[in-house]
Structure 1
Amino acid sequence: MALAESQQLDLVEVSPTAVPPVCRIMDYGKFKYQQAKKLAEAKKKQVQVELKEVKLRPKTDTHDLEFKVKHVRRFLEEGNKAKITVVFRGREITHQELGMAALEKFAAELADIALVEVRQKMEGRSMFMIVAPKVKAK
């Protein structure tokens, strides 16, 4: 402790369970600052993946579907996942095959850049599918 005080530094216990306990002479404030900087740098390099959603109806026309495919393509190229939802209203629920066909068409159009993460699922009056971007080989 006298040696640390003479150098105007701190005596920090590194391993208290070791026999004898291991201590180190350092500037503890500077050490904590550098650790915080490393954490901030690591956090900056993280990529936050969002789940974007596109809604359509079972009777949505082909041009509108193609337009929505372009949107989903853009989402996937940005590195986000996409949720494609087909909403059924009224008696449309009796023709679930139309919604299934629309989702299958989406999957076929996006097969080159996307993987289907969650296949077609019914949830109440809506059917959805989740697609994620394909991982690029380095």
Structure 2
Amino acid sequence: MKQYIEVGYALSNRVKCQNCLQQIIKDEIRIGHVLARQPGLNFDKKLWYHLNCLNSIKGDRNQDLDIVNIHGLKEEDQKKVKQKVDQIKKSSYQKKDQKEVKYLSKQEHLQNYIKIQRDLHLIQKKKQCQQAMFFEQIDSPDEQW
């Protein structure tokens, strides 16, 4: 699913932020996260947010985010939007890295568990062999005496 970010000034007070559910005031910067669906499957889904309310994005995190209509903003607002998008990208990569670390630590714990189980199994076998040897010595006649 292709995704991009659309920015602009709110044209009216009718749009609500998807995060805080408050109205986005007219002429305030709004960021729209658009998930473009395949052609022929309904319409693109566009979610509007306040500039400070968009913290993360859904969808493919490896995909580059195009910013549409950024040239329609003032230079100050363009800088704010670019900083926010960079922050979102960094946070999504950090989340991905955290998931990878969590996955790797789970693998490490699993390997440690398997090693411990294997060691316990070997210890059990060793004890069984020692017991068998002990009982063989008891049951065998004393040839040494």
Provide TM-score, normalisation by structure 2: 0.28
Larger radius of gyration: 2
More helix by share: 2
Q: TM-score, normalised by structure 1?
A: 0.29
